[in-house]
Chains A and B, each alone.
Chain A
């Protein structure tokens, strides 16, 4: 059997492939690259397209929407994007997040009122403690019945 190289294809939401291969093809920033074992270190962005993994006579195909390709002599890592990405799309999302923050915080002051924060948290903690005490009391009574 010919030399092999470890290949991992992962996206944020799942692992797509992990195993040995003889050769890997991917669509790098400046065109398709074929990677054989003992390839020199290589780092590239990926274009949307097919990743082909050849091992023996078998060939597996994966579609990636973009991402990062990293090659080390013994291992190839493909960090695939799970979401469709575009610069203006990201920009629109950022704007949305900002607006949402502005709307939500309209009446709030920009300085944190620590006294208020602490009293609010203390109240929540007191509630929890009261519940725990109630439980203890009930469980003690439970024993006597």
Chain B
């Protein structure tokens, strides 16, 4: 009996250690989440302004129409998958991959080719296992993702769009609904959704361009795509931290419950051992007296 209670005590200690780790991870994730959310807020103005400018461009009558705004048949599709570098964040990445796989399957059934660009180590590992035509990959973005680290993958996709190797570009990432909820979503980047014309003046107007319409609009479109991708990566980072915080909180709570249960079992075993010892002593004494 003493062996059983000792074993239980060992288990309690090991779970307590695990609980300490999950508790620490929860607190780290909570602190990082706050910072990630601040960063997410900080990128919003850029994306908002980009959309506003694009809305203006859509209501103008430019002499040059950018190919990214022209709808075409989607036969060669690029998908940019944004995942986290690390695990232990609940179902965050797997839910996103499931959404991607469904979408890719639907596209392939429609006769389209799909090429992938991956951001984050988890996406790389997943698609390495299941296969996929991966043309670009970026990992180790850290907690504060920098635009520089994303430019390579974006450039690969944009080059393929320019060469006609792709005719549509989508982005898959998690949407930050609130701390408790993250939602996987797939958004279309190219052809750009016709931005709503902000002002419906019947006046015919166009910009004065410097150096010329093509250069200026090309740069604007490039910045637009980069801005949206960067925004999605920053949002995904916030999702990662909050998902990890929740997952670790659950783990800590569960560990607490298991410890309670084991403690009960331990007390019972200890009590049983004591009772047994007493009865042994009593019966021993009775035998001597008798």
Which A residues contact B (CB, under 8 angstroms)? 8, 10-15, 18, 28-30, 40-45, 67-68, 70, 72, 77, 79, 81-83, 90-91, 93-98, 100-101, 104-105, 107-114, 116-118, 120-121, 124-125, 128, 131, 134-135, 138-139, 141-142, 145
Contact string against A for B residues 23-67, beta-carbon threshold 8 Å, 1 for contact and 0 otherwise: 000000000000000010011011001101100110010000000
* C-alpha spacing A100/B129, complex, angstroms: 16
Task: Return A90 CB to nearest CB of chain B, in Å.
Answer: 5
Chain A nearest CB from B271 CB (Å) reads 16
Residues on B with beta carbons closer than 8 Å to the beta carbon of A12: 43, 46, 147, 226-227, 230-231
8 sampled A-B residue pairs with Cβ under 8 A: A14-B42, A42-B207, A45-B216, A72-B56, A91-B155, A94-B153, A110-B131, A117-B97
Q: In the assembly, what is the distance between CA of A126 and CA of B90, in Å?
A: 12
Chain B residues with CB below 8 A from A28, complex form: 210
| Chain A hits for B207, CB < 8 A | 41-43
Q: A97-B155, A120-B129 are in contact. Are A104 and B124 (CB under 8 A)?
A: yes
Q: Give chain B residues whose Cβ lies under 8 Å from the Cβ of A29.
A: 210-211, 215-216
Q: How many residues of B contact A (CB 8 A)?
A: 73
Contact stretch, chosen from B9-17, B134-142, B272-280 = B134-142
| Interface of B (DSSP majority class) | helix
A18 with B136, Cβ < 8 A, contacts A29-B210, A105-B127, A121-B97 known: no
Query: Are A142 and B257 touching (Cβ within 8 A)?
Result: yes
Residue contact B210 to A97, C-beta cutoff 8 Å: no
The minimal Cβ–Cβ distance linking A44 to chain B, given in whole angstroms, is 4
Q: Which of B94, B131, B208 contacts A125 (CB 8 A)?
A: B94
Q: Check if A97 sits within 8 Å of B136, measured CB to CB.
A: yes
| Main DSSP-derived SS at the A contact region | mixed
Instruction: Tell me the complex Cα distance, A143–B155, Å.
Output: 56
B254 touching A10, Cβ below 8 Å: no
- Given A104-B128, A104-B137, answer yes or no on A125-B257 (Cβ-Cβ < 8 Å): no
Q: How many A-B residue pairs have CB under 8 A?
A: 201
Q: Are B155 and A94 in contact (CB under 8 A)?
A: yes
Chain B interface residues (CB < 8 Å from chain A): 39, 42-43, 45-46, 49-50, 52-53, 56-57, 60, 90-91, 94, 97-98, 101, 104-105, 108, 114, 117-118, 124, 126-139, 146-148, 151-153, 155-156, 159, 205-211, 215-217, 219-220, 223, 226-227, 230-231, 250, 253-254, 257-258, 260-261, 264
Across the interface, which residues of A come within 8 angstroms of B231, CB to CB?
Answer: 12
Residues of A within 8 A of B134 (CB): 101, 104-105, 108
Q: Are B210 and A45 in contact (CB under 8 A)?
A: yes
Question: What B residues does A117 contact at CB under 8 A?
Answer: 97, 101, 129-130
Q: Are A68 and B223 in contact (CB under 8 A)?
A: yes
CB of A17 to closest CB in B, whole Å? 10
Known: A43-B207, A83-B151. 16 other contacts (CB 8 A): A10-B46, A12-B43, A13-B43, A13-B147, A43-B210, A72-B56, A77-B53, A93-B152, A108-B129, A109-B131, A114-B130, A117-B97, A117-B130, A125-B94, A125-B98, A142-B257
**Contact, CB under 8 Å: B45 / A15:** yes
B173 to chain A, nearest CB (A): 16
Contact of B49 among A79, A96, A134, A145 (CB under 8 A): A79
